[in-house]
Amino acid sequence: MSNENLKDLTTQVRRDILRMVHKVNSGHPGGSLGCAEFLVALYTNIMDRKEGFDMDGINEDLFFLSNGHISPVFYSVLAHSGYFPIEELNTFRLLNSRLQGHPTTHEGLPGVRIASGSLGQGLSVALGAAQTKKLNNDSSLIYTLHGDGELQEGQNWEAIMYASAKNIDNLIATIDLNGKQIDGATDDVLPMGSIKGKFEAFDWTVIEIENGNDIEAILDGMATAIAATGKGKPVCVLLKTMMGNGVDFMMHTHAWHGKAPNDEQLADALNQNPETLGDY
Amino acid sequence: MKTYTYTEKKDTRSGFGAGLAELGRTNPNVVALCADLIGSLKMNQFIDENPERFFQIGIAEANMMGIAAGLTIGGKIPFTGTFANFSTGRVYDQIRQSIAYSDKNVKICASHAGLTLGEDGATHQILEDIGLMKMLPGMVVINTCDYNQTKAATIAIADYEGPVYLRFGRPAVPVFTPADQVFEIGKAVQLQEGSDVTIVATGHLVWEALEATKVLHEQGISAEVINIHTIKPLDDKAIIDSVAKTGCIVTAEEHNFLGGLGESVARVLALHHPTPQEFVATNDTFGESGTPAQLMEKYGLNSGSIVEKALKVIKRK
Residues of B with active-site annotation:
61
Domain ranges of chain A: 3-271
**Structure confidence at residue A212 (pLDDT):** 98
Mean pLDDT of B56-64: 98
Please report which confidence band the pLDDT of residue B151 belongs to, taking 50, 70 and 90 as the band edges. very high
In whole angstroms, what is the distance from residue B37 CA to residue B76 CA?
A: 22
Give the contacts of B237 (CB within 8 A, at least 6 positions apart). none
Q: Considering Cα of A120, then A124, then A125, then A130, what sign does the dihedral take?
A: positive
In whole angstroms, what is the distance from residue B79 CA to residue A262 CA?
A: 49
The correct answer on CATH 3.40.50.970 for the domain covering A3-271 is yes
What distance, in Å, lies between the first and last C-alpha atoms of chain B? 23
- In angstroms, the Cα distances linking A259 to A20, A68, A99, A188, A190 are 12, 15, 18, 20, 22
Residue of B nearest to A138 (CA): B74
* Contact at CB, A125 and B67, closer than 8 angstroms: yes
φ, ψ of residue B56 in degrees (nearest 5)? -85, 115
- What does the mean pLDDT of chain B come to? 98
Strand A171-177 relative to strand A235-240: parallel, antiparallel, unpaired?
parallel
Smallest Cβ–Cβ distance between B97 and the set A56, A121, A132 belongs to A121
Model pTM above 0.95? yes
Q: Considering Cα of B6, then B9, then B13, then B16, what sign does the dihedral take?
A: negative
Residues of A in contact with B80 (CB under 8 A): none
Domains in chain B, CATH or no CATH each: 9-174 (3.40.50.970), 189-315 (3.40.50.920)
* Contact at CB, B93 and A118, closer than 8 angstroms: yes
B162 CB neighbour count, 10 Å cutoff: 16
Alpha-carbon distance B46 to nearest alpha carbon in chain A (angstroms): 16
SS3 (DSSP) at A106: coil
Residue of A nearest to B60 (CA): A158
Mutant choice from A105, A112, A124 vs B, greatest count of B C-beta within 10 A: A124
Strand B164-167 relative to strand B107-111: parallel, antiparallel, unpaired?
parallel
* Contact at CB, A57 and B98, closer than 8 angstroms: no
Model pLDDT for residues A210-251, shown as the tens digit of each residue: 999 999 999 999 999 999 999 999 999 999 999 999 999 999
Mean pLDDT of A175-204: 97
Residues of B in contact with A113 (CB under 8 A): 73
* Contact at CB, B73 and A56, closer than 8 angstroms: yes
Mean pLDDT of B79-99: 98
* Nearest C-alpha neighbor of A43 from the set A6, A2, A1, A77: A77
Model pLDDT for residues A78-121, shown as the tens digit of each residue: 999 999 999 999 999 999 999 999 999 999 999 999 999 999 99
**Structure confidence at residue B304 (pLDDT):** 98
Question: Do residues A116 and A68 make contact, with C-beta atoms less than 8 angstroms apart?
Answer: yes
* Nearest C-alpha neighbor of A246 from the set A269, A268, A263, A277: A269
Question: Do residues A2 and A219 make contact, with C-beta atoms less than 8 angstroms apart?
Answer: no
Name residues 100-119 of chain A within 8 A of B (Cβ).
Answer: 104-106, 113-118
In whole angstroms, what is the distance from residue A273 CA to residue A19 CA?
A: 12
* Contact at CB, A131 and B69, closer than 8 angstroms: no
